[in-house]
Amino acid sequence: MKLGMRTVALAGVFAVVAAAAMVATTATAAAAPTATFVKVSDWGSGWEGRYTITNGGSSTLTSWQVDFDLPAGTSIGTYWNALMDRDGQRYRFTNQHWNGTVTPGASVTFGFLGSGSGHPSGCRLNGQPCQPTAPPTTSPPSPSPTTAPPGSTPVAANGQLRVCGEQLCNDNGKAIQLRGMSTHGLQWYANCATNASLDVLAHQWGADVLRISMYIQEGGYETDPRGFTDLVHEYIEMATARGLYAIVDWHMLTPGDPNYNLSRAQTFFAEIADRHRDKVNVLYEIANEPNGVSWGAVKSYADQVIPVIRERDPEAVVLVGTPDWSSLGVSGSGGGVDAITANPVAASNLMYVFHFYAASHRDLYYNTLAAAADQIPIFVTEFGTQQYTGDGPNDFTMSQRYLDLMASKKISWVNWNYSDDFRSGAVFTTGTCASGDFGGTGPLKPAGGWIRDRMRTADDF
């Protein structure tokens, strides 16, 4: 987004981090390591489950293994933060390389999506009973999904994405289009991207992708690298649990030279790629909106950040911002496409980013996108139906022209933004996120209702 945002207290993000920490540290008073299960959500035909392993003993755990049974007719599909094996209805989860060590008093969690009505029984942690095990609890069912059930989520249908020619393709080599929403800045609106709201995004809106927008300046990452990195980890897991693709958005904006944040970006993406390298649903957007610098400066930055990711996650798709607020140069001196084709980033599975706001960016931008899509791989990681400030009147006619173009060329897109910010570009009315009631059309602004309707049409996967 091109508009510098107002300063807002960080209470929202710290509250989310604190809440996650509370979940991760329950039952620390136990005398021995325990594994406690809870059903996080239930939508009738399936559910999300979570185990919390808490080391209540006096010795450090260097690895962990949780075994349990599921009744006939109940099975596990997607899972995260663990490795899974099974023998019939007996399931075994073991630690990943990064979360096997649990010091006294600490906890780790792993989770999974189950189908059927049953829940785990006969749990054992490292060969010992998982007692005391909290009885399974079920959250009130989410509204009935309007899209496919978890067994046919976007990630289940498409697997590891790759770039083939100028297209984004699934693991079968078929060109596809992803459609989804971007969070607003996590330092301001973390309370708008919750388990409840993401259930709505996945099950009611039929989204394919969540863009996790982490600002670097403006009260973002540079103020608390550890806290914001942990928050991004959490959002990746939340997207994974719902079968959504996750774009990790390094939301640099001011200053516009991405090299200003080079060392920060290398540190951040090294940890993110290392932690999530076994997932197939993570995409890395390494520079949101470069501005005030040439394509050469952006390419130099990309040449130094991409190898950090590739060393840890060699197959994931990387998204590179383009000159003049990711307008392919149109918002500046132009020539962005020619500059890129003359000196492209030397990396595979790479796409270039284009942003537009339909009420401000009209035929010149539209024609640039149409032509560029035939020359280089393009992903529209941010667009709005309003002015470039994310505010003002909606231009749904011009927006539909863009959507028709992107559908015809299978250009994936993400709309700005999934929050209740006062501007017209936020999909929810002000106060929605505090209420926690995200379902249906009642809490939606006109832009929210418009984009929801267009996301709910069936995907051609």
289 is a catalytic site residue: yes
Say which of 234, 289, 311, 315 is annotated catalytic: 289
Angstrom CA distances, 112 to 51, 263, 285, stand at: 9, 34, 26
Side by side, the strands of the sheet bearing 90-94 are 83-87, 90-94, 65-69, 121-125, 128-129
pLDDT digits (tens, 9 = 90+) for 252-285: 999 999 999 999 999 999 999 999 999 999 999 9
β pairing state of 83-87 and 90-94:
antiparallel
Catalytic option among 48, 237, 271, 382? 382
Give residue 31's pLDDT: 64
Confidence (pLDDT) at 200: 97
User: What pLDDT is attached to residue 15?
Assistant: 39
Q: Give the integer Cα–Cα distance in Å for 18 and 20.
A: 5
- In percent, the amount of the chain with pLDDT more than 70 equals 89
- Residue 274 · residue 232 · CB < 8 Å: no
Tens of pLDDT, residue by residue over 50-79, are 899 999 888 999 999 999 999 999 999 878
- Residue 290, helix vs strand vs coil: coil
Q: Is 166 a catalytic residue?
A: no
Over the stretch 215-224, which tens digit does the pLDDT of each residue have? 999 999 999 9
pLDDT for the residue numbered 10: 37
Per-residue pLDDT reduced to its tens digit, 294-326: 999 999 999 999 999 999 999 999 999 999 999
Give the 3-state secondary structure of residue 28.
Answer: coil
CA–CA gap between residue 206 and residue 147 (Å, rounded) = 5
